[in-house]
Amino acid sequence: MFGDLFEEDFSFVSNNQCGKGKKSKSKDTEPPAPREFTKLSGIKNQGGTCYLNSLLQTLHFTPEFREALFSLGPEELGSLENINKPDVKVRIIPLQLQRLFAQLLLLDQQAASTTDLTESFGWNSNEEMRQHDVQELNRILFSALETSLVGTSGHDLINRLYHGTVVNQIVCKECKNVSERQEDFLDLTVAVKDVSGLEDALWNMYVEEEYFENDNLYRCAACNKLVEASKSAKLRKLPPFLTVSLLRFNFDFEKCERYKETSCYTFPIRINLRPFCEQTQLEDSEYMYELFSVIIHKGGCYGGHYHVYIKDVDALGNWQLQEEESKLMTEEKVQKDTENIKEMENPLTILKGILSEEESKQIPVDQLGQKLLEKKGMSWNKKYRKQYGPIRKYLQNHSQIFRLSPDDNKVSLKEMYHQLQFGSDCQGQVLQSPSQNSDVQWTSESLCTVLKDSASGSHWFDLNDTKVQPIKEKDIEKQFQGKESAYMLFYRKSKLKRPSEAQANPRYRVPGHLLNEMDAANIELWKRRMDSDSADNNIDLRLHLGSHYKLYNGALHPSLSWKESVLDLTIDKRKTLGDLRQSIFQLLEFWEGDMILSTAKSLPAGLHLYQTLDGDEMTLGGIGLADGADVFVWNGKEVGGMEVLPGLHHEPVLLNVLRLAGYNEGGKGQHFIESQHVVPCSAELSTLWKALASPGGIILMNSSGSDKEVENWKVVPEEDMKKTVRIVGLTDGSSILVLDSHDQSLVNVASGNLTAFMHDISWLQVKNFCRLEAEEKQVKITATVETVMSDIKIKAIQELQLGEELVDDSCLRPINRNGKLLSPVPEDYTVKEAELKMGSLLGLCHGKAPTSTQLFLYFVVGSDLQGAPEMEIVVEETASVRECLNLMLEKFGLPGDNWHLRRIDWCYEAGEALSEEGARLKELNVCNGDTLVITEGKLPPKGFLKVPIWWYKPLIHFEQQESMQNQVNCMMGALRVSPAGDSPAYVQSDIGLCYAGDVEISGEAFLEDLKIQAMTLPFFQDLCVPSPEFLRAWTLESKRPGKLLRNNKQQLNEYKLGGRTEICIEPLQKEENLSPSDLLLRVQMGIPGERDYYHSVDLVWDISKECTAWALRHRLAAHYSLPVEKIEIAKYFPEKFEWMTISSWTQQISKRKRKKKQDSLQSAPFHLKDGDIIGVKNLLLEEGKDFSTVRDDIGKETQRQLAMEKKKSRQAQRLQNDVLSEGKVATKHRKPEVSLSINVGIFR
């Protein structure tokens, strides 16, 4: 209905990326997060279901609705365990609602899922991604529940809670006669435009009167004349729960566009409806309502998001304004920091603050050190140990403040400091530690606020999908206006009081079987979270044993295999360094002497050591050991008898050293030789120059690598020789070019730049296709962008050691990534003119390269282009199409002249014909490398059409001879001749096509002439056709009749038949002359009690007056002599094997609506046209309205299997394609408008 009117914007969602060293965990195995501090559960958004979540939360926080639903047991609703048993009735929707409400009440997870519920609605993934209007959902969901609860004790659940009545009255001014009409409502829809608020809108609807006077008079039934009268409306019956829908979305008829009304619209927290009711004598409690839910829409007409403000009537949640508390604590902290900065840097103050914030009374001493690291960003050893000593000793020295456990492993504040931290409550009484009552951090001020608001009972929460936040009652006023504003209001009668046992009791009135299910689910969640917590805190360390390593080239390398030199150890990061050391001792029973642990890192040069780990009381997480860290185990002095220098200053750097290759150095075509050297990053460049360069030589460096631009190479000046490798910017992978004195001509001495390197000196690859027995089949040829292709060919022949006679009888052809040889490159072109990239692969092939006035073409013969061999030919660009065709026929060895040429289209199929055989190839834009197709058959003269003719007749499916699967295969595209056989019983008609031959006819001929010529074909000789009027002509589209050619006296050119149009001819039993307003339909009546149809008949329907569902129903009812209300009709879509019911309910509502322009069946969604199949059901003989047949079921299953195979093929292709498009901004298109529906079974 509303399409993407309320489409959500998910542009803020980013991909979840795991950090370095982290274990990635799939969402399927990770347990759901527990509930947050509010102790309330949100609902997951399935993609576009925020509107559903908001309404479900409102129903969940309506205790009377929730408990009434819980009161329906399995004996009435059935059980979800029997959902697949066909003989058992299971009311799925109320059962899934019960289960969802139980999860929201009892299951300890941050958000519940609505997947099972939406599946019970019959929604697919597309429906879950498409958002709808929440007001529409409210009505449809209530209707689905009413249908689902028919025959149970809850059949009147919706009416009992939400049903009200409005009475409309017209009072005659003369005789005082009252004419009234009563209307039922489940929700009140009120205007927003030009109205200040809810009370103003109700006043206009139920207090203000409309007068009939002057020219606008009322005909009184009692007076039987036009009289003055007054019209008014009143609320006759008030429901316990009043739902108000605000008309925020309107249509601007001047601009022809939707818009959202964002003006201020007030609504009260408590409202008295007495002024708007018909009866006003009851007690005030009967008219007083309190607001308990506000559904809010944020956004505009074409995008937005729903969330809901809800009052917690049963006090199920923990209402606490954390933002205000956090702000207050921050202000106090800032004030305290300003007054005494030095005091805050005092370790005594910091440790007291950490302990006072802890929930438990005692924490381990090493955990205290870790929390200090997290809070100050620096460990105790680095910041305070030098001045105050170890942390344990510091705590012992301040025993008047800190209390240590007997084993000195745990610490807490003494009681006097604990009470000072939390102060006293509003009455001056000492409060308990917050850890005794709640896991939320409290302060004295916030506690007073909570107690005060708890007494008032105004517990409001903002439920925004998975997020639940407490709010104040005054925050509702922010939703009066703006793009984020109230959209639906829910009131409850003030006299509805909740029992005391329901307060803060989520288990109240929950059925026993759901309590057991939720308890078991919570136990399972607890186990999963314990396992997950253990897995999250476990880290994998790689232990490198110093006794199995040796030092060379400035880095450590294993002397044995990697498996023997490295041990894997999994340990909890909350354990201490001492625990790690003890675990290693247990692993290495052979270890003797001191054990030093150092952090290590694998570099391109080898393994390097950095920091020595100390402080056995520190946790592994506190000292920075992460998952996948490398730890080197050694004696701290030497490895293999050689001293090891750890630290960042001694980090080894791996450099690429390049030298220009000599005459016989390097491989073929290689212009430099490369080697690798390891140097410490603290080494001076002068040391490097002495080790690498000869006297008089120079060094150039490129910190970007060896394959970059020439300008990145810089000569190292004399003044930089004293600088270290790290200071000048050389890192792993950087390159050094060493030039001797005779190579320095490549350097511009003035600028210090390299003048010729990668740009001017590069290579092309050439592969031999001339002589397969050659020893070396592929070589590299050094070239520049200005090298001529003939020179490259000569060099390749020499390198391949081929005969000189190939110089005049060979050419170079590029090879694409699929290995296909492309058109030869002209030999007078340079590499740049030939548009070749350096490193491209060329093929040396027999044959001369085409000149600049010649074309190199590919050609294939026949219609099977995939399996046909592809041949090559060189022709002059001035040659005609006929000359080119003759050359191709001669080369392929085809006789005769019954052939023509066609181009290849983008689908690699025979496309446009080259019909002008005298035209030159250049004039027709035939280019070098094009592929042409030699097709059998001579092209017709200019102005003539060559039309293939097919014989079309009903295809009778014989139950004794053809299986249902064969019928489906026929419909899926096989062209078959109708088989001969015995006369059938009840049959199903489909198409049968048989090729009759070709007709060559002038475009100026009439359709009648085409039919006459078709009758002369040999295929028609044995058929008795009296005249062309006994033949019906169709265009053939996708192997099915398409457009009906109805006028025999119309020229073929006027039908705009293309060069490849095919015609099918259908025989008739009588003459036919259809007018332009006649629509030809194939109508078939359903066989009662069977999923099949009688033989179809042709029905001509005059649509000159109207082409509506109402008119079609009357036409078919008259045809079959049946009452209009006793037939159901549907259109068949054979390509989808689906039926679409044609309903005319909109024409039966009122005369006013009938006056409006009715939707034509020739437009969406039916697109009714000639030849469409219309199914008819006789409701006098059968009740079912299912139009599908067994063949439709088989066809759908076949299509589904084909779609799955196609999907798998696309996925495989996507995996092979390693070229991904990046940086493209996807355009967001609006989704099509689709109505909302919920599928419900029949329970009558």
Catalytic sites, residue numbers: 50, 305
Please enumerate in sequence order all residues whose Cβ is within 8 A of that of 1043, keeping only pairs 6 or more positions apart, or say none: 1034, 1035, 1037, 1170
**Four-residue CA torsion sign, 965, 968, 974, 979:** positive
Q: Which of these, 1004, 1007, 1014, lies nearest to 943 by C-alpha position?
A: 1004
**Four-residue CA torsion sign, 562, 566, 572, 577:** negative
Q: Which of these, 966, 977, 898, 981, lies nearest to 934 by C-alpha position?
A: 898
Angle between helix axes 512-537 and 92-106 (nearest 10 degrees) is 50
Task: Catalogue the long-range contacts made by 755-761 (C-beta closer than 8 Å, 24 or more residues apart).
Answer: 755/710, 756/710, 757/710, 757/713, 758/707, 758/708, 758/709, 758/710, 759/709, 759/710, 760/710, 760/784, 761/671
**Four-residue CA torsion sign, 8, 12, 18, 23:** negative
Residues 430 and 682: their CA atoms lie apart, in Å, by: 64
In contact, 842 and 815? CB cutoff 8 Å:
yes
Q: In whole angstroms, what separates CA 447 from the centre of its chain?
A: 45
Which structure tokens are listed for 1165?
Answer: 């969604």
DSSP-based helix, strand, coil % in the chain, nearest 5? 30, 30, 45
Q: Which residues pair with 1093 in a beta bridge?
A: 1086
Residues 803 and 533: their CA atoms lie apart, in Å, by: 74
Which structure tokens are listed for 457?
Answer: 């009972």
In angstroms, what is the C-alpha Rg of the chain? 44
1003 residue type, one letter: G
Residue carrying structure tokens 């049946």? 1122
Residue carrying structure tokens 């489906």? 968
DSSP state of 862: S
Residue carrying structure tokens 């170890």? 390
Is the backbone peptide bond immediately before 511 cis, with ω within 30 degrees of 0?
no
Q: How many helices (H) and strands (E) does the chain have?
A: 29, 56
Residue 770 in 3-state DSSP?
Answer: coil
DSSP state of 100: H
Please enumerate in sequence order all residues whose Cβ is within 8 A of that of 148, keeping only pairs 6 or more positions apart, or say none: 91, 92, 93, 94, 1240, 1241, 1243
Q: Return phi, psi of residue 854, to 5°.
A: -115, 160
Q: Which of these, 311, 260, 312, 294, lies nearest to 134 by C-alpha position?
A: 294
Neighbours of 1176 (CB within 10 A): 21
Neighbours of 1090 (CB within 10 A): 11
Q: Return phi, psi of residue 476, to 5°.
A: -65, -30
Residues 337 and 345: their CA atoms lie apart, in Å, by: 10
Residue 533 in 3-state DSSP?
Answer: helix
Residue 1028 in 3-state DSSP?
Answer: helix
Give the H/E segment covering residue 1063.
Answer: strand 1063-1067
Residues 1045 and 1051: their CA atoms lie apart, in Å, by: 11
In contact, 434 and 440? CB cutoff 8 Å:
yes
Residues 1145 and 93: their CA atoms lie apart, in Å, by: 27
